[in-house]
Structure 1
């Protein structure tokens, strides 16, 4: 079957994301590619036009079509480059969000009495909202009933609800030796002890988890299989199966965080929640899609455990914000979230392509459409020294020690949130500053 123009577009975008095509590289002439693929030249022309419209390529009359490092025509409005360029925190630049939100609120108010929107809802959420969220998680391969869904005020709230009801104060939770700082904060607040499980480039090492479970009591396992924060590790299928088997052997609940799953849609390994549905509590959130203010997420729990996990919501906030959930579930139903996902995927790929043009920064661990990158520093740099030096140049990077669990050794690596700058131009400036710094020697602080 001959490929259509959409297939050509998808293949080129995928090649850009995987760095097989980099900024400045020339694409084959349309006639040559049409002959090679056995399609009409008009098909290739339409694909190239679509790529240019989306900002992936630029065309020059008489010269050809080249991979771009710029941004899409429908990207955000021009933003001035801030004095300090932030690569430390997650921001979600979504085009036309003002209009979208205003239109949604108008529709909701027209259909509901305001008193309804400000009223209380069941701890797990209304059945209508739970059904919508059950439909949403099908994209992850999870076939859950509405009765298994507990609606939460975002991913962090879901983590708190799970940990507070599945474990007790003073108990040990096994997690990756580098983990999300918010997870550390929740565990500390709840007086849970985190113990780091050894990792490699593929994520949590099952043998290390098994050894930990043999050596001391463990109450639960918390793991992020996709686009792990901060390392971007992607847990292979065999490790997911092994972790599930270890949890079964020791009768442990698994808390599976998949906050970035929607952005990393091409990675289709089955979630642990599919492998071990009887003990896995799956967490997802809309905040990484629509913006951090969209505090809407959920726990997908085994049916026998829903009463426990929903009590965590009831004890903390009573229920999720009804109006926020109504907005989020409408965006699920009318495919607005899908449009946001596609835009962010394209924007993140564009930014990762820019990162790849720098020899040292381009060595960072990335994943297709991930909003962050993990960079091992050159031998001369310690993480804290590099972060301080970057700050002096006007680039803000999260402290690496914030990801380290307990007293594990801090790696000399940094996380770069490439989606944080307001524009690609700002990211370009930050990359230029960091590349120069990576090529330099740290200044000695010895004053004697």
Structure 2
């Protein structure tokens, strides 16, 4: 008589929690929009033709002259890269002595959620907010509570009300050129939010992947420069190359050590060779000049999209006017459903992201997000003309 295979027991509670987390509509759309004839305003993608291919290739070539870059490495990250990132943050007005290198800033967010959240925890988020952050928090079993926002970003009075009613331990926001809205939190509001955090032992997670992509106006100081209860997340993806999957996390020393241990358990360390190449690139290239080129091109693309909107959208539509970043956030009039409209848009070979997924609680189905960075000015003009056929 044969021995019956014994299946490992299934953690039903964990499985239910995982299954309740919806797939990202952006990731799903990437498959639907892979056809070359589709003009996609969906993904928050940098323009591939603007990657510094020669500089990155040379950096890998130099890095690979040392066989050690193919070996295991410290969890904290490549020391040279950490020093270079810390110096860059310091130069941008955020004094930094050390960072933890992560596999993209998405992993940094996951590490924070793992270390600081769990079933029964409460996390406050700006509404609407980055949908992958919502997924990350949902995976921990934490309860997500929304904080209202307007054209100037998160509303401090709403945060005070949420803190009084819900006592969250963590506040997550993308204060500079936010995803999905493109809005920037004003300096005055940043100072007020820092005061609220200090008074109520509230940790702030400041996600800043877009902050250097400014096309108009003056830089606003990071929240982390105003509050020592801020965990700051940065990324090479939007100013360098997302395929390298390199991000960083800045936090107070004690918390940084804890998060390093969490990362150690997650993946030992981020790719050694990619870190080494990034360090060589930063040491031997003028990243500021490269970012200036990105800003000039992306600014022109933003302008093209904004100029086309009045002739593309039905009367009564409102939209954001971002000073930088990658996104324009729109609300259609009445009871429009952007998810239904997307189906028609795809028939016209154009795509966008319906806005409902960016809401923690009650979605607004009349909203949508457009990204302007991955298409040329000419492609934006054609794509908006296609979109007008669906919306008008």
Category of TM-score, reference length = shorter chain = 0.7 to 0.9
TM-score normalised per structure 1: 0.74
Which residue, out of 375, 385, 392, partners 1:432?
A: 385
Superposition CA RMSD, Å = 2.2
Show the counterpart of 1:7.
none
Asked if the contact 1:346/1:369 (under 8 Å) is kept, the reply is no
Aligned to 1:122: 74
CA contact (8 A) 1:166 1:253 kept: no
- Separation (CA, whole Å) in 2 of partners of 1:214 and 1:157: 30
* Residue 288 of structure 2 is aligned to residue 338 of structure 1: yes
Which deviates further from its counterpart, 388-397 or 371-380? 371-380
* Greater relative contact order structure (CA < 8 Å, 6+ sep): 2
Q: Are positions 1:229 and 2:155 aligned together?
A: no
| Structure 2 counterparts to residues 69-218 of structure 1, below 5 A | 82-93=36-47, 94-95=49-50, 97-110=52-65, 112-113=66-67, 116-146=68-98, 149-218=99-168
The 1:411/1:337 distance shift into structure 2, 3 A limit, reads farther
Q: 2:279 & 2:321 partners in 1: Cα distance?
A: 30
Secondary structure of 2:168's aligned partner: coil
SS in 2 for 1:234: coil
1:17-416 alignment, distance < 5 Å: 82-93=36-47, 94-95=49-50, 97-110=52-65, 112-113=66-67, 116-146=68-98, 149-264=99-214, 266-277=217-228, 279-358=229-308, 359-360=310-311, 364-379=319-334, 381-405=336-360, 407-410=361-364, 412-416=366-370
The 1:129–1:96 alpha-carbon spacing in structure 2 relative to 1, beyond 3 Å, is closer
TM-score for both structures, normalised by structure 2: 0.84
Point out where structure 2 has 5 or more consecutive residues left out of the alignment: 1-34
**2:44 aligns to what SS in structure 1?**
coil
Aligned-partner Cα distance in 1 for 2:208–2:50: 24
Q: CA deviation at 1:252?
A: 1.6
User: 2: distance between equivalents of 1:90 and 1:217?
Assistant: 33
Q: Is the 8 A contact 2:51 2:241 kept in 1?
A: no
Distance 1:408 1:327 in 2: 44
User: Does the residue aligned with 1:288 lie in a helix, a strand or coil?
Assistant: coil
Distance in 1 of aligned mates of 2:155 and 2:261:
32
Distance 1:96 1:411, change over 3 A: closer
- Output the CA distance in 2 between the equivalents of 1:182 and 1:96: 24
Q: Cα deviation per residue 1:64-108 (whole Å; 9 max; x = unaligned)?
A: xxxxxxxxxxxxxxxxx9321111112222436433332222111
Alpha carbons 2:327, 2:369 under 8 Å: kept = yes
Question: What SS does the aligned partner of 1:156 have?
Answer: helix
Q: Gapped runs of 5+ residues in structure 1?
A: 1-80, 441-448
C-alpha deviation, 1:385, in angstroms? 3.0
1:160–1:312 Cα contact (<8 Å) kept: no
Describe the shift of the 1:205–1:369 C-alpha distance in structure 2 as closer, same or farther (beyond 3 A): closer
